[in-house]
């Protein structure tokens, strides 16, 4: 079931599964690179409602590493639930209401060092308008991740997604994103593919997939497996401090040649900076 229908259940049962937990840890590598390179002190994540799992927690790493974090969501109930799970980690966040993640953002120009989102642009009906606003409020960096359209598993996934409705698949087109950002005066400082685990990018829990193909040993995660719960919240709230070490055992394909990652990685990413500010 897609996130549009099942997002509430993750706030009752935090079990996100191996795939979602893995991609969250891999994102941390790119966060660290951006923070060190550009000196990020405050962050805007919009849209914060993206792909799967517990909504609104992709930016926990930023808060844990000293940045001020602001999220935008358009659902009042979900906003309250996001604030609740953040309180469980004792990390601070500001959750702001936005109208369907498009239209004018309620911030002054250049308010944030970093504006970013992960797999959330397919909920943005007007890409040009949205990126214009994100550019207006972002000062140093814009970091965008979209599903990898070159993935060998993309065609069946898109076929399933088209049946969901309420998705703007044209807004996750990498070529279009680059064209709009260039027109708005931003350079692509870096781009590539991330989230390249040893399992394929298909719409099912990776635990179920690996068990079905005889690789169930990959999903044994100690106490988390015994409790039938794997969620990065337990890493940030201190309940499972060994989670990162266990998850990163599966990251041996992340440094693969670009040609392989282009067709296997689950996501494509762009790091944009204002023209004239390239380092």
- DSSP, residue by residue, 34-66: HHHHH---EEEESS---SSSSTT-TTHHHHHTT
Confidence at 201, pLDDT banded by 50, 70, 90 = confident
Phi, psi of 11 (to 5 degrees): -80, -20
CATH of the domain at 123: 3.40.50.150
- Where b means 16+ CB within 10 Å and e means fewer, 136-173 reads bbbbbbbbbbbbbeebeebeebeeebeeeeebbeebbb
Which residue has tokens 């392989």?
A: 260
Residue 239 covered by a domain: yes
Using the predicted structure, report yes or no on whether residue 95 has a pLDDT greater than 50.
Answer: yes
The whole-number average pLDDT for the span 11-26 is 94
Q: Please give the average per-residue pLDDT across 147-168, as a whole number.
A: 75
55, 99, 104, 170 from 72: Cα distances, Å:
11, 9, 12, 21
Instruction: Kindly list the distances between the CA atom of residue 278 and the CA atoms of 13, 29, 214, in Å, as whole numbers in the listed order.
Output: 43, 20, 47
Flag whether 279 is in a domain. Answer: no
Going by C-alpha positions, the residue among 163, 183, 167, 141 that lies closest to residue 271 is 141
276 vs 141, more confident: 141
Confidence of residue 50 (pLDDT cuts 50, 70, 90): confident
Q: Residue 233 is part of which domain span? A: 3-274
Question: What contacts 110, CB < 8 A, 6 or more positions away?
Answer: 136, 137, 138, 139
Average pLDDT over residues 64-92: 96
Report the domain count for the chain.
Answer: 1
pLDDT at 163: 62
CA 94, chain centre distance (Å)? 18
Q: Is the pLDDT of residue 102 over 90?
A: no
Rounded average pLDDT over 46-54: 88
Residue 58 falls inside a structural domain: yes
Distance CA 129, CA 103 (A): 7
Q: What pLDDT is stored for residue 223 in this prediction?
A: 46
Give bridge partners of residue 267 from the DSSP assignment.
147, 194
Considering only residues 202 and 126, tell me which one the structure prediction assigns the higher pLDDT. 126
Find residue 270's DSSP bridge partners: 144, 191
Taking a C-beta distance cutoff of 8 angstroms, is the pair 272, 188 a contact? yes
CA pair distance 141, 62, nearest whole angstrom: 14
pLDDT value of residue 245: 96
């Amino acid at each position: 079931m897609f996130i549009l229908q099942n997002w509430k259940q993750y706030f009752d049962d935090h079990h996100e599964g191996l795939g979602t937990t893995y991609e969250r840890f891999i994102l941390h590598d790119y966060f660290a690179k951006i923070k060190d390179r550009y000196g990020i002190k405050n962050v805007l994540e919009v849209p914060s409602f993206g792909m799967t799992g517990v909504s609104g927690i992709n930016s926990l790493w930023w808060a844990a590493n000293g940045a001020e974090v602001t999220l935008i969501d358009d659902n009042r109930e979900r906003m309250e639930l996001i604030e609740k799970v953040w309180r469980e980690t004792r990390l601070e966040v500001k959750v702001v209401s936005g109208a369907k993640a498009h239209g004018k953002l309620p911030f002054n120009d250049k308010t944030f060092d970093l504006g970013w989102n992960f797999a959330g642009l397919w909920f943005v009906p007007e890409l040009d308008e949205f990126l214009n606003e994100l550019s207006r409020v972002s000062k140093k960096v814009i970091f965008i991740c979209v599903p990898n359209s070159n993935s060998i598993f993309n065609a069946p996934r898109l076929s399933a997604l088209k049946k969901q409705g309420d998705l703007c698949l044209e807004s996750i087109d990498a070529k279009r994103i680059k064209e709009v950002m260039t027109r708005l005066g931003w350079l692509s400082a870096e781009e590539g593919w991330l989230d390249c685990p040893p399992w394929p990018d298909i719409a099912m829990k990776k635990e179920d997939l690996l068990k079905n193909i005889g690789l169930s040993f990959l999903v044994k995660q100690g106490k988390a497996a015994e409790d039938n719960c794997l969620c990065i919240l337990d890493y940030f709230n201190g309940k499972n401090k060994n989670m990162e070490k266990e998850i990163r055992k599966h990251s041996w394909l992340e440094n693969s040649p670009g040609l392989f990652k282009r067709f296997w990685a689950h996501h494509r990413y762009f790091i944009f900076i204002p023209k004239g500010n390239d380092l």
